[in-house]
């Protein structure tokens, strides 16, 4: 595991829980709107946490924390992620995993072995336009589609979520995404925000009116569609 960040306490990252968030390094996407530039392209001298440091922290906060969020980057790029999560579960914590959905086999294995309690999966845009903003060298929508189908089976608590940019998402896109994710348990739209950590700050935030229009389009497909952080 390459662990490049630790937020010791958060009330925001794990719905309804007090959690710590662990940030893994590296990602197979290069989304220009990504606000974690230093996790996707870690500087050579980036400070990394040891597992010992992480577990020392978790043990010291065992009475306060309900769970642990693992985010990135893309955590499933790390082959030892299941082993790492098992050690967290053995301490009695709930585990939430954030993923871009490119590794459905690992997600399935984690669900099967009851190593995760909640998965939050990014949906960048429609299947057809996906690579326009994911920017992978070699792109295949099939693994992402497989992860969507896996979560829709409902064996685990989950959410889908999309960061919306004024230049990238339209009502027609939302209609297509609604059809794709139809019947999902929860779908959150969050507004793009520019910051120093954005990979390529070429986009802008949508208006509240646009976001509310998107919610109206999505609700017939996913009644639990909500705005987050707006
Ligand atoms: S937004 Fe997520 S999937 Fe995209 S580059 Fe950043 S960490 Fe990777």
Burial of 213 (0-12, 13-18, 19+ CB in 10 A): middle
What residues does ligand 1 touch, defined as CB less than 6 Å away? 27, 29-31, 34, 36, 40, 72-74, 100, 122
Which residue's CA lies nearest to atom 6 of ligand 1? 34
Residue for token pair 């959690």: 19
Q: How far, in Å, is the centroid of ligand 1 from the Cα of 198?
A: 10
Q: How many H-runs (helices) and E-runs (strands) does the chain carry?
A: 8, 8
pLDDT (tens place) for every residue of the chain, 230 residues total: 999 999 999 999 999 999 999 999 999 999 999 999 999 999 888 899 999 999 999 999 999 999 999 999 999 999 999 999 999 999 999 999 999 999 999 999 999 999 999 999 999 999 999 998 888 888 999 999 999 999 999 999 999 999 999 999 999 999 999 999 999 999 999 999 988 889 999 999 999 999 999 999 999 999 999 999 88
**Predicted local confidence at residue 229, as pLDDT:** 87
- Which atom of ligand 1 approaches the CA of 33 most closely? 1
**Predicted local confidence at residue 71, as pLDDT:** 98
Which ranges of 153-192 would DSSP assign to H, the alpha helix? 171-180
Which helix (H) or strand (E) element contains residue 192?
A: none
Q: Would you state the structure tokens that stand for residue 173, as one six-digit string?
A: 């896109």
**Predicted local confidence at residue 49, as pLDDT:** 96
**Predicted local confidence at residue 25, as pLDDT:** 96
**Predicted local confidence at residue 192, as pLDDT:** 96
- Which atom of ligand 1 approaches the CA of 134 most closely? 4
pTM of the model: 0.96
- Domains identified in the chain and CATH numbers: 3-163 (3.20.20.70)
Which residue's CA lies nearest to atom 7 of ligand 1? 73
């Amino acid at each position: 595991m390459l662990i490049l960040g630790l937020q010791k306490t958060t009330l925001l990252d794990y719905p309804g829980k007090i959690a710590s968030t662990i940030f893994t390094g590296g990602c197979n996407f290069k989304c220009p709107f990504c606000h974690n530039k230093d996790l996707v392209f870690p500087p050579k001298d980036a400070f990394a946490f040891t597992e010992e440091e992480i577990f020392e922290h978790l043990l010291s906060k065992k009475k306060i924390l309900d769970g642990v969020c693992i985010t990135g980057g893309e955590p499933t790029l790390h082959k030892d992620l299941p082993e790492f999560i098992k050690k967290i579960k053995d301490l009695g914590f709930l585990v939430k995993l954030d993923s871009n959905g490119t590794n459905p086999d690992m997600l399935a294995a984690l669900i099967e072995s009851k190593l995760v309690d909640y998965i939050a999966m990014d949906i960048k845009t429609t299947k057809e336009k996906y690579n326009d903003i994911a920017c992978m060298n070699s792109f295949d929508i099939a693994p992402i589609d497989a992860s969507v189908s896996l979560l829709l089976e409902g064996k685990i608590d989950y959410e889908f979520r999309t960061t919306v940019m004024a230049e990238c998402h339209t009502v027609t896109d939302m209609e297509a995404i609604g059809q794709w994710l139809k019947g999902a348990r929860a779908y959150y739209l969050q507004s793009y925000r520019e910051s120093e950590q954005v990979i390529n700050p070429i986009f802008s935030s949508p208006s509240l009116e646009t976001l509310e229009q998107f919610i109206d389009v999505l609700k017939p497909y996913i009644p639990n569609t909500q705005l987050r952080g707006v």
